[in-house]
Chains A and B, each alone.
Chain A
Amino acid sequence: MQGNGNAAPLLEIRGLKTQFATDDGMVRAVDGVDLAIGRGETVGVVGESGCGKTVTAMSVLKLIAMPPGRIVEGRILWRGRDLVPLPADAMDEVRAKEIAMVFQEPMTSLNPVYTVGEQIAEVVRRHEGLSRQAALEKAVHMLRLVQVSNPERRAHDYPHQFSGGMRQRVMIAMALSCDPKLLIADEPTTALDVTIQAQILELLTEMKSRFGMAIMLITHAMGVVAETAQRVVVMYAGKVIEEAPVERLFANPRHPYTQGLIRSIPQIDKAAIAKTRLEAIPGVVPSLINPPPGCRFAPRCRYAMAICREAVPPLREVEPGHKVACVL
């Protein structure tokens, strides 16, 4: 799944560095990330809290608060055009119409004093210039698409009248209302119960086959990625450390961190047969203010050698489509 053969990728991030100024020093939240997403492709971005996956996504949409944040280096090529130097009004055009985003917490990302119909309609009016009436009709149509029952009536309800799963459906309806080419979903199911999570993942897959957009799925849950993504990018402490097609990544993880991440998850099927001790990764994620020199994972890595602590290993291709940043 390398995009569409010869076609240029939809989104190509090259050497992105995003930093935040804090009282304690400069936090290198994203530190040289390369990432590409092809047309209609679903790419999972996984990693633990603080690895820079959300900041990468926010940088693409330029939703980083500046200051304290700043994109220090790198290019974000959207269909060949660099978004980094783009002025605010041009960026507004890109948001929603071309790239839309769904956030983790559907309660805080909806405005509590407007009905959900008004909120979806506002997006449509702003970006597609529809009349108030036509926009509201479009909102109802979108709510129906995401399987909100009785959408004509529900459009007049306020966010607090919806459950968590329903709110996430509303967010997805809003994100898709202007027919974007890329949907960034940042932990879209993390706040939801498993049965509702299954419904939302199903909905995303269905919407994808209907609208044909690409999806950048950010999550910490390896299981969610395994079930929905075609390609997976693993991040650790602000860097991409491995990238591979989903089957390859789970069958043959090459980076010790990815291996640890996969093994530290209790597995229902396997555990039932033989109860084994979980393989925990010792230690904690390093500080991004003074990251360790060399490989960021070296202090927790059981295979670490002297060379790992000296130079940052580059991301190199070990087989077609499978890239690893590890000297081993």
Chain B
Amino acid sequence: MDAKAPATAEPLLRVEGLTKNFVIGGGLFSRAPDVVHAVDNVSFTIGHAETLGLVGESGSGKSTTGRCVLRLIEPTSGKILFQNIDVVRLNSGALRSLRRDIQIIFQDPFASLNPRMTVGSIIGEALTIHDLARTRREFSERVVELLETVGLQADHMRRYPHEFSGGQRQRIGIARALAVEPKLIICDEPVSALDVSIQAQVINLLEDLQQKFGLAYLFIAHDLSVVEHISRRVAVMYLGRIVEIASARDLYASPRHPYTEALLSAVPVTDPGKRRQRIVLQGEVPSPMNPPTGCHFHTRCPIRKLPLCSEVVPELKQTSSGHMVACHLRS
């Protein structure tokens, strides 16, 4: 429960200055192409068996960040050090073996499973690719073991994805990720498509698996209460940049960045006696194609000071409270 990553050991994953720009348009006859600054100079670390939560609204760049770590999207610049190996420089062979160590679970359990494959072959595919099962018997024993680990049954292996509910499909996705015994799993909105009662089942499963296998998670979600529940530390993103990182407890108890404050106050609480004072932000998230100058948040910030905030990009700095905050006025 430390705000900082454990100082003694080298973190499992260290991301430094990660940037991803998407170029759109720019055909033969059109004007200069537009650039979407999806991820802008993002740095963070994840320790062994730690969960880092990454929250933000749509378009904040959290999913792009997650996918860059696995190089499902090629980063424009920056370093991604996994156990001190720079993922960005790996060739395709080395990348494949890296993916034994880093896996991903997707949001949509309907779109992320091939409808023509049986559950057994979906889960077992990675075993074949990485040569982890020598015989057919070993293969099916391992698949059964994985199914049971995630709370499904052995006879499910011959069925097809459409025969399962959303929560069960998400369990299949988790079993598939576990097949290669990864050290880090990128969880990209793993419970947002599920009903609350099922959501709780999957969150509990993820926590159990972390205990059992010593997994680290990069847990990406827009639901702040879910992230708070599962994470040790939480990073808040706004328009491609991290605006605050702190331990889950500190972040929620005393948010420092005005965006974090507004975001937290916008979450409806399930206590009708305590309809809290909301900070309702004016306007909407600006376009990442043409982000505001200076601090990206200054156009909606209730405490901004011009011209400072509109001119100078605030750095993510350690504050006395142990938070890392990118704000000129709250450091």
Q: Is the CB of B57 within 8 A of A268?
A: no
Measured in the bound complex, the distance between the Cα atoms of B285 and A166 in whole Å is 12
> Is the CB of B301 closer than 8 A to any CB of chain A?
no
> Is the CB of B91 closer than 8 A to any CB of chain A?
no
Measured in the bound complex, the distance between the Cα atoms of B267 and A49 in whole Å is 21
Q: A195-B266, A222-B196, A281-B197 are in contact. Are A266 and B248 (CB under 8 A)?
A: no
Residues of A within 8 A of B200 (CB): 264-266, 278-281
Q: A195-B262, A260-B197, A280-B204 are in contact. Are A269 and B284 (CB under 8 A)?
A: no
> Is the CB of B293 closer than 8 A to any CB of chain A?
no
Measured in the bound complex, the distance between the Cα atoms of B271 and A227 in whole Å is 8
- Which of B58, B168, B268 is the one whose CB lies under 8 Å from A226? B268
Distance in angstroms from B230 CB to nearest chain A CB is: 8
Measured in the bound complex, the distance between the Cα atoms of B158 and A119 in whole Å is 51
Residues of B within 8 A of A224 (CB): 268
Residues of B within 8 A of A282 (CB): 201
> Is the CB of A209 closer than 8 A to any CB of chain B?
no
> Is the CB of B280 closer than 8 A to any CB of chain A?
yes
Q: Is the CB of B199 within 8 A of A264?
A: yes
> Is the CB of B270 closer than 8 A to any CB of chain A?
yes
Distance in angstroms from A299 CB to nearest chain B CB is: 13
Residues of A within 8 A of B280 (CB): 195, 198-199, 202
Residues of B within 8 A of A301 (CB): none
Residues of A within 8 A of B305 (CB): none
> Is the CB of B224 closer than 8 A to any CB of chain A?
yes
**How big is the B interface, by class?**
35 or more
Q: A198-B278, A264-B196 are in contact. Are A226 and B284 (CB under 8 A)?
A: no
Name which residue of chain B comes closest to A201, CB basis: B268
Residues of A within 8 A of B273 (CB): 247, 251
Question: Contact string, A240-267, partner B, CB cutoff 8 A, digits 1/0?
Answer: 0000001100110000000011101111
Q: A260-B197, A268-B224 are in contact. Are A194 and B267 (CB under 8 A)?
A: yes
Measured in the bound complex, the distance between the Cα atoms of B195 and A49 in whole Å is 7
Interface residues of A in 273-288 (CB under 8 A from B): 275, 277-282, 284-285
Residues of A within 8 A of B58 (CB): 193
Residues of B within 8 A of A246 (CB): 272
Residues of A within 8 A of B198 (CB): 48, 280, 284
Name which residue of chain A comes closest to B264, CB basis: A268
- Can you report 28 residue pairs joining A to B where beta carbons are below 8 Å apart? A166-B284, A193-B57, A193-B285, A195-B262, A195-B281, A196-B57, A197-B268, A198-B265, A198-B281, A201-B268, A202-B278, A202-B280, A222-B196, A223-B268, A224-B268, A226-B268, A226-B269, A226-B270, A226-B271, A266-B203, A268-B224, A269-B269, A272-B253, A278-B200, A278-B204, A280-B200, A280-B201, A284-B165
